[in-house]
Structure 1
Amino acid sequence: MAIQTSDLPFLNPYRHGFVRVATCVPKVRLADPAANARSVLELVKQGQAQGVALMAFPELGLTGYSIDDLHHQDVLLDAVEEALAELARASNTLSPIFVVGAPLRDGPRLFNCAIAIGGGRVLGAIPKSFLPNYREFYEKRWFSSGAGVSDQTLTVAGHDIPFGSDLVFKVEGVQPFTFHAEICEDFWTPSPPSTAAALAGAEILLNLSASSVVIGKSETRRLLCASQSARCLAAYVYAAAGAGESSTDLAWDGHGDIWELGALLAQTERFAATANLAVADIDVARIRQERFRQGSFGDAAEAAQHYFRQARAGFEPPAGELALARPVERFPFTPSDPAKLRENCYEAYNIQVQGLARRIEASGLRKLVIGISGGLDSTQALIVAAKAMDQMGLPRANILGFTMPGFATSDRTKNNAHALMKAFGVTGQELDIRPAAKQMLADLGHPFAEGEPVYDVTFENVQAGLRTDYLFRLANHHGGLVVGTGDLSELALGWCTYGVGDHMSHYNPNSGAPKTLIQHLIRFVAHSGDVDAATAALLEDILGTEISPELVPGEKTQSTESFVGPYALQDFNLYYLSRFGMAPSKIAYLALNAWGDAAKGGWPANTPPASRVAYDLPTIKGWLELFLRRFFANQFKRSAVPNGPKIASGGALSPRGDWRMPSDAQADAWLAELQANVPG
């Protein structure tokens, strides 16, 4: 009886929508199909040991690409048939489906083919459509084009198999998927066959290649792989010929890549002297999500005039635990690659600046009003405001910064707020809200006004609300705009008081930036060279301050993350829920892979010191449950946010942007899925 998804353990990627693939580079023996078939089987056995479902081998790998006129020798072509028969027989006891390259005869024509094998049989063959006949290539000397060959069968190794350029392979089992194969030059044309195959439903696109190598060619291949996987909303698995090919006039680098939606997941060792393979888990479920999320893909599929047949096969994954074979960023909003992180911070910072500058220009006002707490969000908002004024040619003194200490404001944050306003040359003032807060609490009949230490939500929000009241009235008084400070993470969690400063403003440049990105934006400015050493040190001190609303007095600092969870985890949850629509169990699985053994291999350079921790599955599950409850319960706050630019690639939560949901939606189904499918 076939296993079901629920039969697989939690720590098995096939349970969560992944399919394991491999790109393979055997060492070929020229004009020796029997030896090459043995090399293929050795790699297939390695793939089976690693739980691989689908394996791609190079173009004409059973014969060698560079044998030239030997392709027309009957001895060679007969040996190819025998090798294919042996591969089919051997596949009866091997779980992976594998695709090899070989020449196949069809009457008076010879085709350069990708041949799929699995489950004890040859599943089908796809001929190469576009034959290069320029520079060092002259394939038309030996092969016929497969373009237009459709709805045909071919006898291979004594069996009739589906044959044609109209073929995709549908694999059934616990984690179904559909794949297609094209061959080398097909990929370099303006309209690759894989584009039509993707529109016909293929999620995994293979390329069997024998691309020779010259300086710079590998980068072109990667550009094409990345673009094809991104444009087709697919995975692209590329396998090129390597060791063993003739060195008469060319060289071969054995370039193998695995791409998904424009991102490189794995690659083989180039110029290896021996056979090698690279393995990665393709998120087929995510590919399907992206396809129906982007309606234009469905429109293109509807408009396509291509017909494809399906050749069917089956695959059952290993039933036990299996380590995930793909990288998972701990901070999906902030890449671990330092160069990419710098580029992202540069773009995010300038998106914020441009947005605020445009709003200043459109409003006709020339002053900004901003509350400065000495915390992360108001610091970044002030930095953006200063740069926007510079861009507009207005003096920074037109920024009216107010630090408004309350009952729990620490000396550290207040002093940092004053130092920050001075460092950036804004008009800084202090406005003590405590007298007004005491009066409002007395008017409300609150016990605190009588000297009782009652620190409830009313006590907290009186302070938060007064700060906002003052800012808006100060903006009226001075003819300015109130700059918001709340960030994307706070909006997701509802960690903002409705109608007050972290929720309401005239314009909020931080609204599209999650907390983990805000931290890096401040660090980006600190080390950009645009500020002096003293200001850089001040920004680092702010980054090192525990995140706190500072509303409740006491010896112990009021910690935000003790209430809403670590922002590192909650930003992770936000990214995968809102951007990819993933089930909670899958988010927990990915979080465990990112954070469960976080110290393994060291920490990426962009990891904040406070986030250099590991989380076990019960902890991940607990904070994810809280995230789901808060995310659903606080949509009403997100439905009334002020304007602000979309910044992060993970999306935004503005009701005018790319997130819409009713304020009274229920989280029950998501919570039930989490409880049912995540142990602990």
Structure 2
Amino acid sequence: MRFESLYRHGFARIAACTIRTILTDPAANAAVILEVARECDARGTAVAAFPELALSGYSIEDLLLQDAVLDAVEAAAATLLEASRILRPVLVVGAPLRHAGRVYNVAMVIHRGRLLGVVPKTYLPTYREFYEKRQVAAGDGAPAGDICFAGATAPFATALLFEAEDVPGLILHTEICEDFWVPIPPSGSAALAGATVLLNISGSPITIGKAETRRMLCQSQSARCLAAYAYTAAGAGESTTEVAWDGQAEIWENGALLAETARFPRGAQYAIADVDLDLLRQERMRQGTFDDNRRNTPAAASFRRIPFRLDPPDADLGLERPIERFPFVPANPERLAQDCYEAYNIQVAGLTQRLEAAHIKRLVIGVSGGLDSTHALIVAAKAMDLLGKPRTDIVAYTLPGFATSDDTKGNAHQLMAALGVTGHELDIKPAARQMLADLGHPYSRGEPVYDITFENVQAGLRTDYLFRAANYFDGIVLGTGDLSELALGWCTYGVGDQMSHYNVNAGVPKTLIQHLIRWVIASGQFSAEVGETLVAILDTEISPELVPATEGQAIQSTEAKVGPYALQDFHLYYTLRYGFRPSKIAFLALRAWGDVARGHWPPHFPEAKRIAYPLKDIRHWLEIFLQRFFGFSQFKRSAMPNGPKVAAGGSLSPRGDWRAPSDGNARIWIEELRRNVPEA
């Protein structure tokens, strides 16, 4: 299967469809269902669900018991079965049918001319405007076995799952309307039995506020079940004698909304989304209590699996789901503001607890004028404010070396002064020259040799001074290195950004830090003077400033060495949070970053930095990420200091989210990438 196909990467396309119903005209309704089904087929859909009693109309009341209606439903079902032979999607269609002396409200599951199964509604509402028990029987009391219907024989039961043999992880379950309004919906047991895509075909007349309740139930069920949940309600054409209908359709995945339709449509429409079956499998595998719950739920053992072959398409169908360019940084402004509020206060809360519990008098921090140390300093200032301590108890040093620019040093001084901390400048160059001379390094003889020793002498001296200053001032060293640097090993072991007494940034990725600083400015956490300095720092090139640049030469760039943090944080998120294969991460990265115009950018993201990355670049930088993350940097993470977990995407603390051997290697990840991702 080609690299561009969504089905190659563990996705399945799902549609939740609504139609304009013609009451008591099953043939006409079947024709509309087939028209929509053909559209779904053309878009490579695996499953298309239609509303409750879609063939007859939900709102026909006692007409459900008329033989003429039931005969016409069976004839229409036969039409659907025959027409489905040339269609790919599994069709889940609501209908009334006769069985064992009663009428049942069922979901017919149809695929390529087969009636895979018939699932009756379990819970029948008889309150307020509902009188379903007057016409139909509850499915949980129906005789077990097969049903002969529309010229086909199929299982008739509430506990049926439908499993695609050729799409790993695509296992369907359907329930009907009221079934998910009860405290323990059938879909919960179905999920424990293995279902990954839960369908709800619904009638559900609308009243004020009900749509939001449906959304809440869909979201909650998808999150609790670690599943996709597709919901479709009856819409136009249903009788408005006593109630009205809104045709709500939406698809959720593990608590996240993937797609929804407009409400109150005049005709047929559908929500369509690509469900990530790998993501659901990984979540269930990691969350062991999910399987523990299965072991304590007898109903989960009662389900029967019905196999089918989908024959998924090999074409490039695009990807019908939102993919954030910055998975740690939501593009939605309200959500981003909420995330920044929580992240900043998690950091502040972590630091205040450490200071109080350990009876720490002062904080010592190195301030370079770059993003990471700036953010750590404004976290420290807020922590001191909350504790009622003077900000002068923060002892801040800027420690210029051989490549420190006037801009960053100036920003450091301005920020320290604006915040009112105790600021110092300590020039490390004399001590560095002495150490390089003691080592016999070529630089001490006037040679322009800027190797790793030259760089780390500076990083090490800064850390030496900070730790001794902490002894002198009776304080602790506050770390500044971030999650992205820890992932890439872009920190010097035992010194520099890797070591401190407590690191507030250890759980914050580089791509989020700039937005946290913007939020601090916008929310008025500090004075206007502080805000102006923070704005200047946001425009600073990310650089370790360890290697001098000659005239006309660009300054040392971190991203030229380890890759764009925008891409590397993307790779980190899907590696750490979900354990995806490198080829899938590359596929997702191409969908997120392949086109500047596709999708949304975070608020206030600079236009000049809105760039695209072709697959060739993604593959290149992903290989570097894999080599650095799996190949050699774990030993630095194994010895990292304490610091709070911040992002839901995970942390790299060996005491928290991430445990791995320090002597591992990256071979199998790099081989998978090279084998399955084309070079261009």
Pick the TM interval, shorter chain: over 0.9
| CA displacement, residues 29-51 of structure 1 (integer Å, 9 cap, x when unaligned) | 00111100001000000000100
Residue 604 of structure 1 and its aligned partner are, at CA, apart by: 4.0
* Amino acid corresponding to residue 229 of structure 1 in structure 2: S
Measured in 1, the distance between the counterparts of 2:435 and 2:602 equals 48
Measured in 2, the distance between the counterparts of 1:601 and 1:637 equals 36
Question: Conserved in 1, the CA contact under 8 Å of 2:160 and 2:305?
Answer: yes
Residue 341 of structure 1 and its aligned partner are, at CA, apart by: 0.3
Question: Conserved in 2, the CA contact under 8 Å of 1:485 and 1:501?
Answer: no
Deviates more, 1:534-543 or 1:93-102: 534-543
**Across the two proteins, how many residue pairs are aligned to each other?**
673
- What residue number does 1:618 align with? 616
- What residue number does 1:636 align with? 635
Secondary structure at the counterpart of residue 219 of structure 1: helix
Residue 86 of structure 1 pairs with residue 79 of structure 2: yes
Residue 547 of structure 1 pairs with residue 578 of structure 2: no
Question: Conserved in 1, the CA contact under 8 Å of 2:169 and 2:196?
Answer: no
Residue 212 of structure 1 pairs with residue 205 of structure 2: yes
- What residue number does 1:61 align with? 54
Question: Conserved in 1, the CA contact under 8 Å of 2:329 and 2:602?
Answer: no
Residue 77 of structure 1 pairs with residue 70 of structure 2: yes
* Amino acid corresponding to residue 648 of structure 1 in structure 2: A
Select which of 159, 171, 183 maps to 2:164. 171
- What residue number does 2:481 align with? 486
Deviates more, 1:498-507 or 1:583-592: 498-507
Residue 58 of structure 1 and its aligned partner are, at CA, apart by: 0.4
* Amino acid corresponding to residue 139 of structure 2 in structure 1: G
- What residue number does 1:320 align with? 315
* Amino acid corresponding to residue 662 of structure 2 in structure 1: S
Residue 670 of structure 1 and its aligned partner are, at CA, apart by: 0.5
- What residue number does 2:526 align with? 531
Residue 541 of structure 1 and its aligned partner are, at CA, apart by: 1.1
Residue 567 of structure 1 pairs with residue 555 of structure 2: no
- What residue number does 2:98 align with? 105
Residue 27 of structure 1 pairs with residue 26 of structure 2: no
Residue 601 of structure 1 and its aligned partner are, at CA, apart by: 5.9
Secondary structure at the counterpart of residue 651 of structure 1: coil
- What residue number does 2:419 align with? 424
Alignment of 1:126-205 (within 5 A): 126-149=119-142, 151-175=144-168, 177-205=170-198
Secondary structure at the counterpart of residue 161 of structure 1: strand
Measured in 2, the distance between the counterparts of 1:501 and 1:17 equals 41
Secondary structure at the counterpart of residue 24 of structure 1: strand
Residue 107 of structure 1 and its aligned partner are, at CA, apart by: 2.3
- What residue number does 2:341 align with? 346
Measured in 2, the distance between the counterparts of 1:205 and 1:245 equals 25
Residue 501 of structure 1 and its aligned partner are, at CA, apart by: 2.9
Secondary structure at the counterpart of residue 483 of structure 1: strand
* Amino acid corresponding to residue 610 of structure 2 in structure 1: R
TM-score by length of structure 1 reads 0.98
Secondary structure at the counterpart of residue 283 of structure 2: helix
Select which of 417, 433, 437 maps to 1:438. 433
- What residue number does 1:592 align with? 590
* Amino acid corresponding to residue 241 of structure 2 in structure 1: T
Task: In structure 2, list runs of 5 or more residues that go unmatched.
Answer: none
* Amino acid corresponding to residue 416 of structure 1 in structure 2: N
- What residue number does 1:281 align with? 274
Measured in 2, the distance between the counterparts of 1:444 and 1:575 equals 41
Secondary structure at the counterpart of residue 494 of structure 2: coil
Secondary structure at the counterpart of residue 316 of structure 1: coil
Question: Conserved in 2, the CA contact under 8 Å of 1:18 and 1:175?
Answer: no
| CA displacement, residues 132-170 of structure 1 (integer Å, 9 cap, x when unaligned) | 111111111111111254742111113221011111111
Residue 509 of structure 1 and its aligned partner are, at CA, apart by: 0.4
Cα pair distance change 1:539/1:262, threshold 3 Å: same
Residue 531 of structure 1 and its aligned partner are, at CA, apart by: 2.5
- What residue number does 1:400 align with? 395
Select which of 255, 258, 262 maps to 1:269. 262
Residue 212 of structure 1 and its aligned partner are, at CA, apart by: 1.0
Measured in 2, the distance between the counterparts of 1:539 and 1:460 equals 27
Measured in 2, the distance between the counterparts of 1:524 and 1:217 equals 35
Deviates more, 1:456-465 or 1:211-220: 211-220
Secondary structure at the counterpart of residue 652 of structure 1: coil
Cα pair distance change 1:472/1:319, threshold 3 Å: same
Measured in 2, the distance between the counterparts of 1:287 and 1:23 equals 19
Question: Conserved in 1, the CA contact under 8 Å of 2:504 and 2:643?
Answer: yes
- What residue number does 1:4 align with? none
The two structures, once aligned, show a CA RMSD in angstroms of 1.1
Residue 362 of structure 1 and its aligned partner are, at CA, apart by: 1.1
Question: Conserved in 1, the CA contact under 8 Å of 2:331 and 2:601?
Answer: no
Cα pair distance change 1:54/1:625, threshold 3 Å: same
Secondary structure at the counterpart of residue 180 of structure 2: helix
TM-score by length of structure 2 reads 0.98
Question: Conserved in 1, the CA contact under 8 Å of 2:592 and 2:599?
Answer: no
Residue 376 of structure 1 pairs with residue 374 of structure 2: no
Question: Conserved in 2, the CA contact under 8 Å of 1:103 and 1:111?
Answer: yes
| CA displacement, residues 472-515 of structure 1 (integer Å, 9 cap, x when unaligned) | 00000010010000000000000000011300000000000000
Cα pair distance change 1:371/1:148, threshold 3 Å: farther
Residue 110 of structure 1 and its aligned partner are, at CA, apart by: 1.2
Measured in 1, the distance between the counterparts of 2:371 and 2:400 equals 16
Question: Conserved in 1, the CA contact under 8 Å of 2:100 and 2:143?
Answer: no
- What residue number does 1:460 align with? 455
* Amino acid corresponding to residue 569 of structure 2 in structure 1: D
| CA displacement, residues 519-573 of structure 1 (integer Å, 9 cap, x when unaligned) | 1111110111222333222111111100000000013211110001000000000
Measured in 1, the distance between the counterparts of 2:261 and 2:589 equals 27
Question: Conserved in 2, the CA contact under 8 Å of 1:149 and 1:166?
Answer: no
* Amino acid corresponding to residue 41 of structure 1 in structure 2: L
Residue 319 of structure 1 and its aligned partner are, at CA, apart by: 2.2
Question: Conserved in 1, the CA contact under 8 Å of 2:169 and 2:281?
Answer: no
Residue 350 of structure 1 and its aligned partner are, at CA, apart by: 0.2
Measured in 2, the distance between the counterparts of 1:602 and 1:571 equals 17
- What residue number does 1:233 align with? 226
Task: In structure 1, list runs of 5 or more residues that go unmatched.
Answer: 1-7
Measured in 1, the distance between the counterparts of 2:536 and 2:491 equals 24
Question: Conserved in 2, the CA contact under 8 Å of 1:14 and 1:175?
Answer: no
Measured in 2, the distance between the counterparts of 1:349 and 1:500 equals 25
Measured in 2, the distance between the counterparts of 1:104 and 1:470 equals 82
Deviates more, 1:279-288 or 1:636-645: 279-288
Measured in 1, the distance between the counterparts of 2:370 and 2:443 equals 26
* Amino acid corresponding to residue 639 of structure 2 in structure 1: A
- What residue number does 1:649 align with? 648
Residue 557 of structure 1 pairs with residue 555 of structure 2: yes
Cα pair distance change 1:675/1:65, threshold 3 Å: same
- What residue number does 2:575 align with? 577
Secondary structure at the counterpart of residue 298 of structure 2: coil
Measured in 1, the distance between the counterparts of 2:661 and 2:143 equals 49
Measured in 2, the distance between the counterparts of 1:236 and 1:174 equals 18
Question: Conserved in 2, the CA contact under 8 Å of 1:151 and 1:309?
Answer: no
Cα pair distance change 1:218/1:634, threshold 3 Å: same
Residue 397 of structure 1 and its aligned partner are, at CA, apart by: 0.5
Question: Conserved in 2, the CA contact under 8 Å of 1:336 and 1:606?
Answer: no
Question: Conserved in 2, the CA contact under 8 Å of 1:15 and 1:175?
Answer: no
